[in-house]
Structure 1
Amino acid sequence: MDFLKSQDSLTALEWILRSIVSFVFLLLLAKVMGQRSISQLRFLDFIIALILGNIIAHPLSDEQLGLKGSMITSSVLIVLYVLATWLSLKWTLFRRFVDPPPFILIKNGAIQFQNLSKARISIDYLFSELRKEKIEDIQKVALAVWEPGGTISIFRTSQYEPLTPADMKLETEEFTLTRPIIAEGEIDLLLLKEIGRDQTWLKERIGPIYKEIQDVPLATIDGNENVRIYSKSDY
């Protein structure tokens, strides 16, 4: 375990071991922090991610810096992060500090310029977000809200909302989610258990096309237990 300590020089193997340990350690920390995409990082998440990246990066490029100290520091920071997250759920003032409430950017077609400055975004950026929602005229916007995660929620005025089957009083089929039950020859056993079926039942469904499950590239199942099998020629 000498590769964790500060040394004058490290062998190639010790550098590799440092990299592997750091990678696994960061994976564990990320698991504790939870999963968010970059666009969904809150202020607190961003600060922690930035600090952790720097703490772990330095021992990976400087043999005179021990990795053990970085791992201890990172662990303490994660404990503080979890504590701060818990406080944000229990303490309103702290939550408002780390997760500021959303504020309105557009209301009934009128830009709220004061809030635009608070969000530190330009009018060009605001209009680019409108174009992503296929909105070419700001007068069609009933409400646009700047969210704490840095995204903009946009709501059209009622007369410009797309028609839905409910608006036209049309009958529709019940929604069913199609999920892969076999992928690259591997059965999703949790899904199979969830629908109350066994492997014998599944083999009967694929039998007309494939003799062995490991030969199936992809098979999906919907809410009505209809199994659809895909062959490689379908791709």
Structure 2
Amino acid sequence: MTHYLQTATELAIGLVLLYILTKLLGKTQFSQLTPFDFISALVLGELVGNAVYDHETKFYEIIFATLVWGILIYGIEMATQKFKRTRKFLEGEPNIVVQKGKIKFDALKKAKLDLNQMLSLIRQQGYFSIQEVEYAILESNGIMSVMAKPQYDKPKNSDLNLPIKPAYLPYTFILDGEVVHKNLKEAGKDEHWLKSQLAQQHVRDYKEILYAEWKEEQPIYMLKYENKSS
């Protein structure tokens, strides 16, 4: 029993420690990973894993090693922000793999990317033919950025001479049957207003609603639960 309690405690401490380090090191540790970020996250996970499964290693030693590793990574992150010359080496650089509609084989080879992989990444951006692509850039985090040829690009309001309307961010007012009071306040609304909007759509209780959002100059949009068991 003591062994299981110790394992649970180590896992909980490891989770908290990794969470704190991830918050300190920034969101790139878990999104838009560069190769260096990937190595960093891998080592942090391995350090905590050793603390749990290697009983010969003292947990406080793992905490010390994790903190030192976090400080090193934080220092490197600061260096890449302040010293531009270090960014190319530590973070990598974008590679143009399609330029003016032509595939750059040398760039593909440099990025260790074959044609099938390149086409797959381009399709993920919504372009299913290489004929539609004017430029394609493989970013340092592995994501492909694509600029379409003019004839395949999406028209903008300015291109169609349409009147420009202001853009509004939608507010989520109900989520999984619960009112999001913070969003109501930010939108300048209250529960009385929300209840009146629900009544107009013949809804009596918040708990009937799975999701509801509202955007300026538009009526509230609601989705009810389907076959919800009581």
Structure 2 counterpart of 1:229: 222
Change (3 A) 1:196 1:135: closer
Counterpart for residue 101 of structure 2:
109
Aligned with residue 219 of structure 1, among 212, 221, 224? 212
Is the 8 Å Cα contact of residues 105 and 145 (structure 1) preserved in structure 2?
A: yes
Conserved in 1, the CA contact under 8 Å of 2:121 and 2:144?
yes
Shift of residue 136 of structure 1?
5.2
Please name the residue that 2:6 is paired with: 14
2:79 to 64, 87, 92: 87
1:148-167 to 2 correspondences below 5 Å: 148-167=140-159
User: What's 2:32 paired with?
Assistant: 40
Q: Alpha-carbon deviation of 1:84? A: 1.5
Please say if residues 216 and 231 of structure 1, whose CA atoms lie closer than 8 Å, have aligned partners that are also in contact: yes
Provide, for residues 95-117 of structure 1, a one-character-per-residue CA deviation record: whole Å limited to 9, x for no partner.
22212332211111222222112
Question: 2:106 is paired with a residue of what secondary structure?
Answer: helix
CA distance, structure 1, for counterparts of residue 5 and residue 71 of structure 2: 31
- Name the SS for the 1:181 alignment partner: strand
Describe the shift of the 1:137–1:227 C-alpha distance in structure 2 as closer, same or farther (beyond 3 A): closer
TM-score by length of 2: 0.83
Distance in 1 of aligned mates of 2:207 and 2:129: 54
Match of 1:146 among 138, 151, 154: 138
Q: 1:198 to 1:158 in 2, by over 3 A?
A: same
Shift of 1:186: 2.3
Secondary structure at the aligned position of 2:55 is classed as: coil
Q: Measured at CA, do residues 140 and 27 of structure 1 come closer, stay the same or move farther in structure 2, by a change above 3 Å? A: same
Q: CA deviation at 1:201?
A: 2.9
Structure 1: where are the runs of 5+ without partners?
A: 1-8
Q: In 1, Cα distance between the equivalents of 2:197 and 2:128?
A: 49
**Equivalent pairs: percent with the same residue?**
25
C-alpha separation between the residues in 2 aligned to 1:72 and 1:142? 50
TM-score when scaled to structure 1? 0.81
